[in-house]
Structure 1
Amino acid sequence: MPRLFVDMAYKGSAYHGWQRQLNALSVQEVVEEALAKILPQATEIVGSGRTDTGVHASQQIFHVDVPEGLNPDKLQYQLNALLPFDLAIKSCRWVTPEAHARFDAVQRGYHYHIIRQKDPFRHGMAYHYITPLDVEKMNEAAELMCTKTDFECFSKVKTEVNTFLCTLFKAQWTEDNGNLVFYVSANRFLRGMVRAMVGTLLEVGRGKLSLADFEAILDGKNRQEAGRAVPAEGLFLSEVRYPESIYLS
């Protein structure tokens, strides 16, 4: 069957993450139920990766196999008509039949948003954190991370992975109208990695950790030595990249 890559965005506040679960509502479940009303048979979708409970996505990619002759633009319209307000389909593109939304991704990026003042319009979409921070030091620590490849110290303890190795392409803090945004991109991420990473960088910004302390945590590979995981509400999966060769349109 022909295969589509579907680019979607969602506000994760009402969902227990991307992955379908037995006793909790997930983004995947809601999308698959909508597809079941459009396509002639029940269809399982495969996402580029999991997002945890409460995490948002400005770009999540999933692949789906569809019948011959289907119109991608019509599918986008139909899905958006069926999906709730907090889920949106941005585009549908034909890909090669073997293209895989998870395994073919070569780069993923996340943004973490911190607001410095209470803002009712960003409630649930950013972390309200008012403690003074040394952003320059936080960026020095972020640059240091890009020289490392083992991030076991930022991984959830009980997780089944074969390796803790990741290649970071960029890690940087920027200020936006007095608020802070952390961007990090890599070839892959571990479970809980970005939230633990941000929590530890905030400790550097508060002056609780020196750069030497931060490097020792990275080299020590002990999750208990790193900072706490910051709240999910500030985290967005914002970028998933693939080789252009997999696209047919």
Structure 2
Amino acid sequence: MEDTLQRFFLEIAYDGTAYHGWQVQDNAVSVQQKLNEALGKMLGGTIETIGAGRTDTGVHAKQLFVHLDIPLDRTRNESRFLHSLNSLLPPDIAVHRIFAVANDAHARFDATERAYEYHLHFKKDPFLVFRSWQLREMPDIALMNRAATFLIGTQDFSCFSKSHTQVFTNICTVKEAYWGETENGLVFHIRANRFLRNMVRAIVGTLLDIGLKKKTPEAILEIISSKDRSHAGTSVPAHGLYLTKVVYPYIDNIF
């Protein structure tokens, strides 16, 4: 008699420094590859996972959900399952939780909201080399926050998208966008229903141009209207970017 398969979500986190992004690739090591390999060793056979989205090379995730289908009886002891899986994963990838979901639940397509942070620091710090971007000049936070208000709402964000990406639309609904101060520097927070490839890093680069007074806050309106990537700022380095939250309508209570 075959084991009954159940769909589960895993909540994971990782430091993306050593990886060429989340998604499995032919000639590079990815986070998904390491997770699939560890699951395969623990459960036997080939295990395929589907993530809530892809992160690029060097980008980190404080929270990412993946789904997979595995025999129900292999997960009855949650703490043992997590301990075994984490022992097989490298130290820069961690699985925090596993929980059963409906068999048609989808980690990518069911997500209704995602949030990112971009971290900046200004003083040389060896402990932040791969976790925050060092900027030499302090930007004007008030100007950047004024410009960030123009990002809020449902708009075509083609100007911040990597060229030649295959998506059905470049329209996104940004629900929150602002800069805040930290002990070491600044953090940009942004929350939306979906993001385009390279979108956050391009937005941060554009806002920094405004904060450094190369453009006015209102210039971002013209940039968005242009739908032209060449009108926006340079993409900032990947290592300052973190995926911080993914929301689903049927598991809101767990956040």
Q: CA deviation at 1:40?
A: 3.0
Alpha-carbon distance in structure 2 between the residues aligned to 1:7 and 1:139: 32
**Cα offsets for 1:79-127 (capped at 9, x unmatched):** 1001111101111111111110000001000010001111111110000
Change (3 A) 1:26 1:137: same
Q: 1:36 aligns with which of 35, 40, 48?
A: 40
Q: CA deviation at 1:64?
A: 1.0
Once the two structures are aligned, what percentage of the paired residues are identical? 46
Q: Which amino acid aligns with 1:126?
A: S
Change (3 A) 1:245 1:17: closer
Q: CA deviation at 1:178?
A: 4.8
Equivalent position of 1:198 in the other structure: 204
Q: 2:91 aligns with which of 79, 85, 95?
A: 85
Equivalent position of 1:125 in the other structure: 131
Equivalent position of 1:141 in the other structure: 147
Q: CA deviation at 1:246?
A: 9.2
Q: Which amino acid aligns with 1:26?
A: S
Unmatched segments (≥5 aa) in structure 1: none
> For 2:114, what is the secondary structure of its paired residue?
strand
1:215 aligns with 2:207: no
> For 1:153, what is the secondary structure of its paired residue?
helix
Q: CA deviation at 1:73?
A: 2.7
Q: 1:243 aligns with which of 225, 239, 249?
A: 249
Q: CA deviation at 1:43?
A: 1.1
**Cα offsets for 1:166-194 (capped at 9, x unmatched):** 01110010001251000101010000000
Asked if the contact 2:153/2:175 (under 8 Å) is kept, the reply is: no
**Cα offsets for 1:26-72 (capped at 9, x unmatched):** 00001000001111321100000000000000001100111021223
Equivalent position of 1:157 in the other structure: 163
Return the TM-score normalized by structure 2: 0.94
Equivalent position of 2:17 in the other structure: 13
Alpha-carbon distance in structure 2 between the residues aligned to 1:246 and 1:66: 23
- The number of aligned residues is 248
1:60 aligns with 2:84: no
Q: 1:166 aligns with which of 150, 164, 172?
A: 172
Equivalent position of 2:185 in the other structure: 179
Q: Which amino acid aligns with 2:25?
A: Q
Unmatched segments (≥5 aa) in structure 2: none
Asked if the contact 2:172/2:195 (under 8 Å) is kept, the reply is: yes
Asked if the contact 1:36/1:43 (under 8 Å) is kept, the reply is: yes
Asked if the contact 1:95/1:246 (under 8 Å) is kept, the reply is: no
Asked if the contact 1:15/1:26 (under 8 Å) is kept, the reply is: yes
Alpha-carbon distance in structure 1 between the residues aligned to 2:241 and 2:50: 21
> For 1:149, what is the secondary structure of its paired residue?
strand
> For 1:157, what is the secondary structure of its paired residue?
coil
Alpha-carbon distance in structure 2 between the residues aligned to 1:178 and 1:119: 9
Alpha-carbon distance in structure 1 between the residues aligned to 2:28 and 2:171: 31
Change (3 A) 1:88 1:192: same
Alpha-carbon distance in structure 1 between the residues aligned to 2:42 and 2:90: 16
Alpha-carbon distance in structure 1 between the residues aligned to 2:242 and 2:34: 19
Change (3 A) 1:119 1:246: closer
Alpha-carbon distance in structure 2 between the residues aligned to 1:43 and 1:120: 38
Asked if the contact 1:76/1:90 (under 8 Å) is kept, the reply is: yes
Asked if the contact 2:147/2:218 (under 8 Å) is kept, the reply is: no
Alpha-carbon distance in structure 2 between the residues aligned to 1:142 and 1:133: 14
**Cα offsets for 1:222-241 (capped at 9, x unmatched):** 00010000000000011001
Asked if the contact 2:51/2:65 (under 8 Å) is kept, the reply is: yes
Q: CA deviation at 1:148?
A: 4.7
1:47 aligns with 2:51: yes
